[in-house]
Structure 1
Amino acid sequence: MGLISSFFTWWNGATWGTWIYTQLRGAKVGEDGWGNVYFEAKKRDSYGVRRRWVIYSGSNDASRVPPEWHSWLHGQAEDVPDRALPPARPWQKPPIPNLTGTHQAYRPPGALEAGGIRPASTGDYEAWSPDQA
């Protein structure tokens, strides 16, 4: 089912139609550390803007686009990040994708997935009851 599903399912990566469009009308401008490939249209549209897009290396998840490439995709930067931005500072952490729904997602204290034990109350909270006026 892998070959047939690649014709129709866009959430598992680029479809065949996207690849054909990219080969005919796009030019590769760069690649990020996660393997996502970025393209720009060879011709300008009627507004004088070149369309920009990304083909993800895995599932299509916009949180997997690093901030510097996000700004390029949305036209906030004219040149690709490799040439337009200064090198990363030593204190900067690499971006991480949205981990919601995975085992690595944040679990606050008291969450059922984290053991379900909440910290003791400090006594400054009084629960509301409908019998109280």
Structure 2
Amino acid sequence: MGILANVFTWWNGATFGTWLGLRGKTQVGTDDLGNAYYEGGRDTAGNPRRWVIYAGSNDSSRVPPEWFSWLHHQIEGTPDQSLPPVRQWQKPPVPNQTGTALAYRPPGVLDKGGARVRATGDYEAWSPDA
């Protein structure tokens, strides 16, 4: 991706203006997906401002739950300081699968042949002549 794409397209990652805006801000951590998290300055309510710079496309479903909590001021410190360690039975978060081959497709969808299970006896189809 060239420098012009970085200047004009926000959906492919952080723009040049975003990187300039992060000057003087502190990087507080990264997650397993490579997203970087920054903090610095104050908003109008006096809370610290927090940002995420995505590694790859800008997709908010790629922010893990623990960092989501940090971004939205649900926890004060970074997740490794404020949250208990991950339990053995917990699964890693999965990004949004819509539009991919892994997306959920119910029975009867056209991709699977469009054949639905026959209705049971409690359903009667409407007809205009009835």
Query: TM-score w.r.t. structure 1 length?
Result: 0.90
Matches within 5 A, 1:1-133: 2-22=2-22, 24-41=23-40, 43-132=41-130
Identity of aligned residues (%): 63
Deviations 1:25-62 (A, max 9, x none): 31100111111110001x33453211001000011011
Q: Runs in 1 of length 4+ with deviation above 3 angstroms?
A: none
Q: Secondary structure of 2:10's partner?
A: coil
> Distance between the aligned counterparts of 1:45 and 1:127, measured in 2?
58
What are the ranges of 5 or more consecutive residues in structure 1 without an aligned counterpart?
none
Tell me the C-alpha RMSD between the 2 structures.
1.5
> Distance between the aligned counterparts of 2:8 and 2:56, measured in 1?
16
Name the count of aligned residue pairs. 130
> Distance between the aligned counterparts of 2:80 and 2:52, measured in 1?
16
Following superposition, the deviation at residue 73 of structure 1 comes to 0.3
What are the ranges of 5 or more consecutive residues in structure 2 without an aligned counterpart?
none
> One-letter code of the match for 1:29?
V
Deviations 1:5-28 (A, max 9, x none): 111100000001111111x13110
Give the direction of change, closer, same or farther, for the CA distance of 1:118–1:46 in structure 2 (3 Å limit): closer
> Distance between the aligned counterparts of 2:24 and 2:117, measured in 1?
58
Query: TM-score w.r.t. structure 2 length?
Result: 0.92
